[in-house]
């Protein structure tokens, strides 16, 4: 068992006159390499800030994979369900657009005296001209396509949010593991210092420092446990669940997403949900313009009926045609509005394409940079920090280093691991952002394979 002392990570610490930012407790990602030395001495029960398992069945629950989480979210997310209802509701617009105008039955009575009374029954049938029905139906169909595109865009957003929340949970779990091991290490270090004080080898001040450090680590342990529970709550909220049916997640946070090249991403922008939605809006506006254009052609009303005169005792056949004269109202205002809104939709399509190119480029650059940072921390920083930490711990046990040097090595090592986990979380969020912009499963290896 390693023996030493771990000082509570404060917002900033000083090492050799240089300010080092300290992050929150990170995950024990080097436990396997160190033979599980950090895990020794852990109490068998739940650590400070943790919730005891409710039952053995909950502990042995089936692990939740990322693919399963995305599937559950698309099925149970309330926003996705509402968007599906909106899409289904647009079918009513299509059905209404295909409807023909209703005929009209008219009755008229001339003269109330029975001998000279004349009664008329007439059926008026409107006839739409100018392709109004076809234009109206096409506009409704474009509205339905727009609702479907909005649903696809929302599904891509939910998918990306679930992926980000999923890896947030994994990262929080590893931070909790580190906090547990840090608490065990702090307790072990306090015991070691107490024995050295009793033997008269170090000052009692060292024991006070060790106990302060142990108390600080236990506070961090409670915070790490709380963050893990909050991360799980955010994940299951995206799944549309209040409870937590899954307590174990598959995969590891250090499984980095692939970094696609910008040249591979650029061709996918034309089929991205945002661009598709803007393109459908242009088509819908064109259909509405055609509808307003068709309204400039007046409709004809054909009338047929019968007239009965009591005075002559004869039935007379009636036939008529009614045509409005487009002298004052030629629908010019509505047509002008439709044309301008069509131009606006084209401008918005261009803006969406430019914006998406920029956001995808930024997301790819961010993912590439963070991935390089993770690899540097993993290959260079963490091994060196751990080697220095191990040497300081062993040297302190043998009386070759003072306690402050051990604390400095501990801070450096755990800060490096905190930065490593933070970079891992940023990498997964950057990959989720790209997936959200380009649509679900469009970039192989970006999210879907990270289970």
- The structural domains of the chain, with segments of one domain joined by +, span 12-41+60-438
Q: What is the DSSP string of 177-195?
A: HHHHHHHHHHHHHHHHHHH
Give me the pLDDT at residue 7, please: 35
Fold of 12-41+60-438: Outer membrane efflux proteins (OEP) (1.20.1600)
Residues recorded for the chain: 451
Tens-digit pLDDT profile for residues 437-449: 998 555 555 664 4
Cβ neighbourhood burial of 420 (10 Å; 0-12, 13-18, 19+) = buried
Secondary structure letter of residue 270 according to DSSP: G
Give me the pLDDT at residue 154, please: 93
Tens-digit pLDDT profile for residues 65-82: 888 888 889 888 889 999
Query: Within 13 Å of residue 304, how many CA atoms lie on the same side as its CB?
Result: 4
Dist. CA 218–CA 8, nearest whole Å: 9
Q: By C-alpha distance, which of 270, 256, 281, 451 is closest to 356?
A: 270
| Distances, alpha carbon 399 to alpha carbons 1, 202, 395, in Å | 17, 10, 6
Question: Cα 25–172–70 angle (5° rounding)?
Answer: 160
Quick check: helix, strand or coil at residue 450? Answer: coil
Sites in the chain below the pLDDT cut of 70: 1-61, 244, 247, 397, 399, 402-404, 440-451
**Number of neighbours of residue 401 by Cβ within 10 angstroms:** 18
Q: What is the DSSP string of 39-97?
A: TTT--SS--TTPPPPS-HHHHTPPPBPHHHHHHHHHHH-HHHHHHHHHHHHHHHHHHHH
**Are 413 and 396 contacting, i.e. CB atoms less than 8 angstroms apart?**
no
User: Which pTM value belongs to this model?
Assistant: 0.72
Helix (H) or strand (E) holding 124: strand 118-127
């Amino acid at each position: 068992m390693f023996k030493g002392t771990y000082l509570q990570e404060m917002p900033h610490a000083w090492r050799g006159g240089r300010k080092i930012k300290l992050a929150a407790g990170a995950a024990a990602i080097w436990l396997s390499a160190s033979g599980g030395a950090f895990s020794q001495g852990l109490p068998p029960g739940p650590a400070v800030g943790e919730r005891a398992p409710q039952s053995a069945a909950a502990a042995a629950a089936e692990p939740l994979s990322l693919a399963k989480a995305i599937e559950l979210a698309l099925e149970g997310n309330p926003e996705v369900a509402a968007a599906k209802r909106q899409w289904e509701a647009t079918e009513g617009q299509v059905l209404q657009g295909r409807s023909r105008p209703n005929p009209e039955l008219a009755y008229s009575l001339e003269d109330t005296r029975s001998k000279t009374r004349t009664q008329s029954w007439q059926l008026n049938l409107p006839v739409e001209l100018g392709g109004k029905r076809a234009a109206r139906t096409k506009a409704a169909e474009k509205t339905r396509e727009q609702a479907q595109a909005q649903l696809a865009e929302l599904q891509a957003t939910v998918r990306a949010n679930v992926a980000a929340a999923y890896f947030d949970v994994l990262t929080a779990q590893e931070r909790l593991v580190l906090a547990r091991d840090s608490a065990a290490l702090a307790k072990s270090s306090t015991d070691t210092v107490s024995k050295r004080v009793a033997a008269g080898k170090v000052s009692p001040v060292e024991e006070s420092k060790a106990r302060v450090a142990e108390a600080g680590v236990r506070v961090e342990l409670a915070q790490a446990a709380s963050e893990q529970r909050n991360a799980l709550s955010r994940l299951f909220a995206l799944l549309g669940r209040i409870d937590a049916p899954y307590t174990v997640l598959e995969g590891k946070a250090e499984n980095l997403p692939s970094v696609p090249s910008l040249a591979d991403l650029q061709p996918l922008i034309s089929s991205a949900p945002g661009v598709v939605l803007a393109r459908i809006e242009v088509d819908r506006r064109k259909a509405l313009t055609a509808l307003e254009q068709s309204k400039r052609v007046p409709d004809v009303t054909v009338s047929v009926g019968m007239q009965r005169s009591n005075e002559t005792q004869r039935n007379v056949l009636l036939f008529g045609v009614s045509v409005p004269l487009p002298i004052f109202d030629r629908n010019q205002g509505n047509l002008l509005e439709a044309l301008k809104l069509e131009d606006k939709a084209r401008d918005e399509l261009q803006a969406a394409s430019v914006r998406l190119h920029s956001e995808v480029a930024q997301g790819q650059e961010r993912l590439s940079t963070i991935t390089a940072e993770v690899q540097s921390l993993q290959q260079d920083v963490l091994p060196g920090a751990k080697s220095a930490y191990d040497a300081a711990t062993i040297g302190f046990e043998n009386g070759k280093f003072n306690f402050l040097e051990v604390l400095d090595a501990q801070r450096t090592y755990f800060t490096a691991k905190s930065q490593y986990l933070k970079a891992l979380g940023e990498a997964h969020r950057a990959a989720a952002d790209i997936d959200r912009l380009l649509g679900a499963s469009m970039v192989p290896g970006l999210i879907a394979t990270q289970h």
